[in-house]
Amino acid sequence: MESNRFNKIGVLGRLGSETVAATLQRLAHWCHEQALPVTFDTALEAMLESSAMEPAPQFASREEIGFWADLIIVVGGDGTLLGAARDMAQYEKPLLGINRGRLGFLTDIMPDNMATEVGRVLQGDYVLENRFLLEAQIVREGKVVAHAMAMNDVVLHPGQSIRMIEFELHVDQQFVYSQRSDGLIISTPTGSTAYALSAGGPIMHPSLDAIVLVPMFPHTLTSRPLMIAADSEICVVISDNNDLPPHVSCDAQHHMETRNGDELVIRRHPHRLHLLHPSGHNYYETCRTKLGWGSRLGDD
């Protein structure tokens, strides 16, 4: 990925935030000073229209930005980047995150360092990670009735009810187990530090080409997280014994409802996300900082 490709900047951001709006204005001003063409997501127009920016910002749809931009900068938190990843992965353009959220596992440039760090990335001084996404389909009587993408995880859960659900798990057309539990988390390495971690799943390095299946409070002491190859096909068959239909959530941002007898089919998405970090990015340092791991022995 050559740095001289980064001469057209697309910008996406979290809506309804004054701090995000301020960062977007600073970013637009900086790009203008660098003589870099920049185009903002049309969803941000209301946030920037009263800013009296000079020159006036340019706006386009996410689809148009996906085709036009060489680099896409996302201003917001990890949730904002997850949504951007699902929308933009098909265009195979690199994403760079500026953190205006809480945790910052994915959006790791702090606003105070924005000009310096973005400048370094444009000069080719960055770390590139290729991360995969999942695509989920609900199949009913042989037909796909709903589908969605996920960068973190696909979660089968009871919905708004508090009750266990029944399902069967198959991997590559081989029966794995039947289960009564609160649900199942199907997570990428990116999502292993999110919901799957809270449910007792392992932390997976982003470079791993694997998926982890994490049961949620299963009715057996022997049910444990299961790691499988990323190119596996996962099929979860919804039992006919459920009183209420389970739900499926993708990245906790897109929700689908099943019916008894449906199949939830999950595969790796054909396009990968190209995620950029500032040079010197260290995944383990991020874990130490965000998850509160201890320092070296003897450190004060």
Nearest 10 degrees: Cα torsion 261, 238, 154, 178: -150
* Residue 119: per-residue pLDDT: 94
pTM of the predicted model, to two decimals? 0.93
Distance CA 13, CA 111 (A): 13
Q: Crossing angle, helix 114-122 and helix 18-33, to 10 degrees?
A: 50
Is there a binding annotation on residue 163? yes
CA 195 – CA 3 distance, rounded (Å): 35
Measured CA to CA, the distance from residue 219 to residue 221 in angstroms comes to 7
- Ligand-binding annotation for 231, yes or no, is no
Counting the structural domains of the chain, the total is: 2
What is the rounded CA–CA span in Å between residue 232 and residue 101?
33
The last residue of one of the domains, among 124, 146, 163, is 124
Residue 95 φ/ψ, nearest 5 degrees: -115, 145
Q: Would residue 191 count as lying in a domain?
A: yes
State the CATH number of the domain containing residue 73. Answer: 3.40.50.10330
pLDDT per residue over 124-176, tens digit each? 999 999 999 999 999 999 999 999 999 999 999 999 888 899 999 999 999 99
177 is in an annotated binding site: no
pLDDT at 46: 87
Boundary of a domain, candidates 124, 155, 186: 124
| Residue 126 counted as an annotated binding residue | no
**58 strand-pairing partners:** 39
> What is the model's pLDDT at position 1?
46
**Full residue range of the structural domain in which residue 141 is found:** 133-269
183-187/210-216 β-pairing: antiparallel
- Which tens digit of pLDDT belongs to each residue from 56-79? 889 999 999 999 999 999 999 999
Q: Model confidence over 262-271: pLDDT tens digits?
A: 999 999 999 9
Active site residue 78: yes
pLDDT of residue 101: 80
Same domain assignment for residues 36 and 85: yes
**Is 152 assigned to a binding site?**
yes
Name the active-site residue from 41, 70, 78, 262: 78
Residue 295 lies in a domain: no
Pairing of strands 95-99, 71-76: parallel
What pLDDT, on the 0 to 100 scale, is given for residue 290? 86
Low-confidence ranges of the chain (pLDDT < 70): 1-4, 50-54, 295, 297-300
